[in-house]
Structure 1
Amino acid sequence: MSEYLITVNNLKKYFPIKTGLVKRTTGNVKAVDGVSFNIKKGQVLGIVGESGCGKSTLGRTILRLLTATEGEVFYDGKNVFNMDKREINSMRTKMQIIFQDPYSSLNPRLPVYEIVGEAMLQHNMVKNKKEMKEKAIEVIGRCGLFPEQADRYPHQFSGGQRQRICIARSLAVNPDFVVCDEAVSALDVSIQSQIINLLKDAQEDFGLTYMFISHDLSVVKFISDEVAVMYLGQIVEKGGKKQIFSNPLHPYTEALLSAAPSFDPSLRQNQKRIILQGDIPSPANPPKGCRFHTRCPYARQICKEEIPEYREVKTGHFAMCHKVNGVF
C-alpha cells in the first residue's frame, strides 16, 4: 500500500465569467491552476497564502464539493473523480471538512446530538435514533462538551463551543482525512489554542490526516508537518515545516514570513522585512510567465516570459522559481 493517503495531480478549478443578458462565458477565474502534491497518512499538510489565492477552493475540490475542471485526486489509491454513487457515499464518511464559520455551518433547527449524529444514521453506522444519540453524546464528550448539552440548539453555544460541535460532527463518522478550512480564524485567540489542541488530540486518538488551511503562519507552524504556500491558484513552494520556516526558497514565502506579526524571534534575527509592491493580480487574468513577477523584488526578464519549473530543489523541498532553479 502507498504511504500517501491523498495524492493530487495537476488539479484545476476554473469558474466561468459570464456577462451580458445571455450570460455568455467571456473568461475564467483560475482559482486552482495545476496543483500537485501528496499527503502522507497521519500527517498534517498546512496550506498558507493570501486571501483569494485558492486555498479553500482547493480543499473543497479535493472533497468533490466542487467539480474539478481538470486533474486527479486519489484517496488511498482510488481516483475520487471516477467513483460511482455508492463509492462516493462511502468516501463521504472517510473524507470530512470543518468549515470556517461555526455560526452558519450548523442547522439552527436541530439539537446538537442530531447535528453530530445525523450522518451516522444516513450511512447506517447506527441502528436507530437512540443509538445515534448515545454515539453522538460520546463524541461530543470527547470534544470537550458535556452530555447534558446534547439537547441544546446551536444558538445556545459560544463560537468556540460551536466549533467543537463542528469538529464532533466530522469525527462522528470515523474519517481518515479532514480538511480544516480556516477552522480557527473566526475565533478569539484564547479559544483558538483550545481548538488547535483539540484537533491535535483528535489526530492522535483517531489516526487522522489533516489538510489545514490557514493564513495564520504561527498556527500552521504549530500544527503542521509539511507546509505548502499558494499564490494565485498555484503552489509555489512546499516542504517540511522546518524547511519552510527556517530556510524558505521562494521570494513570496520569504515575504510572508517577514510580514508575520507574531512569530518566533529566533527565526527573525537575520531576516529583513520584505515589503511587496502592488496588489495581487486577478486570477481571471494572471500575469504571463511567473505569476509572482509583478511583485517580486528579484524579478528578471525571463520571469515575465517563461513559467518556472516546479521542482525538487532539496530533498522533500519543492519550489517554483527561476532564481531558485539557478536560471539567474
Structure 2
Amino acid sequence: MDNMVDVRNLKKYFPVKGGFIQHTLGYVQAVDDISFTIQKGKVLGLVGESGCGKSTAGRTILGLTPATEGQVLIDGVDVCTATGDAMHTLRKKMQIIFQDPYSSLDPRMTVYDLIGEGLAAHKLVSSRIELEEKVEAIMEKCGLFPEQALRFPHQFSGGQRQRISIARALAASPEFVVCDEAVSALDVSIQAQIINLLKDMQEDMGLTYLFISHDLSIVRFISDDVAVMYLGQIVEMGSKKQIFDAPAHPYTQALLSAAPAFTRKEKREKKRILLEGDLPTPYNPPAGCRFAGRCPYAGAECRESVRVEEVEKGHKVMCLKAGKLS
C-alpha cells in the first residue's frame, strides 16, 4: 500500500531571544528529528503528555508552522518546499480539525459561509446553486440540518460546533486530515458521537488521519498504528496491538499505567508506575536519552547516547535497553 504521508527527520525549533538588541540566545526544540509514514486510508495515533510537541508536529506537517529542517511528503510532494500553485493544490489534499471549535470558527461568518469558503477558494463549484447543494450535503453527512446553515457559531453547542469544524475540513474532499485533540473539549457522550462520525467519514471518503490525542482509550479505538512522543521525539512506534499489549519503552509503560481502569479486573491487574524526577526543558534537553532522568532502568550509557532499536517487525523503540526491561 502506498504511503499518503512520509515525514523524514522533521525538526521545529523556536528561537529564544533576549538582550537589548533581542539576539538569539538559544532554541526550544519543540519537534526534534521525528520520522514516520502513514499509509493511505490508515490512522496514526500520536500520543504523549502535554507539552511534548504533538500539536506543533501536526501543524508543521501541514505547513501551518514552517519547519526548521526535514521533509514532509504528502502524496509525494514536499510541503516544506512547496510554494504557489503547488502549495494551493496541497491545501486541498490536507486539512485540520482543531481542538477548540469555538476559537477556530470565525464568529462573524454563518455556517454556510464557513463550510462553503473552501469550496469557493479551490473552485470546486461552478454556481451558487451547486455551492448550496454541496454545503447542504456535507452538513447532512456530519449530522447537521440544512436549516441551520444561516446560523452563527455561538448559536450551537460544543458538539455541534465540532461537527461544523469537521464539515468545513471535509468539504473540499481532502485525502489527509490532522485531528488535533478533536474531541478533548467535549463531554464523553458527545466524544463517542464525534469519533463514530470520524470513523464513518474515513470509510466513506477513504481518508487518512493523523489523530493527535492524550486520551489513550480513544486512540486505541480509532488508530491502526500509534507513535508515542516525549519531549519532541518519538520514543516508540508500532501497531496498536504492539504498543498497547507489549510496550517496550519505559515512558510508554508509565503512560499506559496512568490510563484509568474501568473494570474491577483491570483495577486489580493494573500496576501504576510512578515516575520520579523533573521533566527536562526543551530549551536545553540532555544529550542522551531525554527520559533518562526519570527512567528507573537508565544507566550511564543512556545519559550519553541514544539509538532506535527494532524489537520486532514494525515496532521501533528509542531505547538502549529495549527488549531487556523486566
Deviates more, 1:127-136 or 1:52-61: 127-136
Q: Which amino acid aligns with 2:312?
A: K
Q: 1:265, 1:101 → 2: CA distance?
A: 34
Kept after mapping to 2: 8 A contact 1:246/1:267: no
Deviates more, 1:308-317 or 1:248-257: 308-317
Shift of 1:325: 6.1
Shift of 1:279: 3.0
- Alignment partner, residue 248 of structure 2: 249
Kept after mapping to 1: 8 A contact 2:309/2:320: no
3-state secondary structure, aligned to 1:26: strand
Q: Deviations over 1:234-275 (max 9, x none)?
A: 000000001100000000000000010246777776542110
Q: 2:16, 2:293 → 1: CA distance?
A: 24
1:106 aligns with 2:105: yes
Kept after mapping to 2: 8 A contact 1:114/1:133: no
Q: Which runs of 5+ in 1 are unaligned?
A: none
Q: 2:267, 2:245 → 1: CA distance?
A: 9
1:320 aligns with 2:318: yes
- Alignment partner, residue 180 of structure 1: 179
Shift of 1:75: 1.1
Distance 1:101 1:261, change over 3 A: same
1:83 aligns with 2:65: no
Distance 1:133 1:67, change over 3 A: same
Q: Which amino acid aligns with 2:119?
A: M
Shift of 1:50: 0.5
- Alignment partner, residue 167 of structure 2: 168
Output aligned runs, 1:97-246, within 5 Å.
97-246=96-245
After the TM superposition, which parts of structure 1 deviate over 4 Å for at least 4 consecutive aligned residues? Answer: 263-271, 325-328
Distance 1:279 1:28, change over 3 A: same
Q: 2:129, 2:15 → 1: CA distance?
A: 46
- Alignment partner, residue 31 of structure 2: 32
Q: Which amino acid aligns with 1:302?
A: E
Q: 1:162, 1:256 → 2: CA distance?
A: 31
Q: 2:98, 2:261 → 1: CA distance?
A: 25
Shift of 1:150: 0.8
Distance 1:173 1:226, change over 3 A: same
Output aligned runs, 1:283-322, within 5 Å.
283-306=282-305, 308-322=306-320
Q: 1:86, 1:162 → 2: CA distance?
A: 31
Shift of 1:231: 0.2
- Identity, in percent, stands at 62
Q: 2:231, 2:32 → 1: CA distance?
A: 8
Q: Which runs of 5+ in 2 are unaligned?
A: none
Kept after mapping to 1: 8 A contact 2:248/2:323: no
Shift of 1:278: 2.7
Q: 1:322, 1:48 → 2: CA distance?
A: 21
3-state secondary structure, aligned to 2:12: strand
Kept after mapping to 2: 8 A contact 1:48/1:228: yes
- Would you say how many aligned residue pairs link Structure 1 and Structure 2? 326
Q: Deviations over 1:270-328 (max 9, x none)?
A: 5421101133211111122100001111111111111x211322011010001116699
Q: 1:141, 1:222 → 2: CA distance?
A: 25
Q: 2:325, 2:304 → 1: CA distance?
A: 13
Shift of 1:20: 2.1
Q: 1:23, 1:164 → 2: CA distance?
A: 43
Q: Deviations over 1:43-101 (max 9, x none)?
A: 00000001000000000000000100000111112222232310100110100000000
Q: 1:174, 1:152 → 2: CA distance?
A: 23
3-state secondary structure, aligned to 2:294: coil
3-state secondary structure, aligned to 1:104: helix
Distance 1:314 1:182, change over 3 A: same
3-state secondary structure, aligned to 1:294: helix
Q: Which amino acid aligns with 2:322?
A: V
Q: 1:239, 1:291 → 2: CA distance?
A: 20
Deviates more, 1:42-51 or 1:73-82: 73-82
Q: Deviations over 1:151-170 (max 9, x none)?
A: 11101000000000000001
Q: Deviations over 1:158-202 (max 9, x none)?
A: 000000000000110000000000000011111101000000000
Distance 1:292 1:265, change over 3 A: farther
Output aligned runs, 1:58-69, within 5 Å.
58-69=57-68
Over aligned residues, Cα RMSD in angstroms?
A: 1.7
TM-score between both structures, scaled by the size of structure 1: 0.96
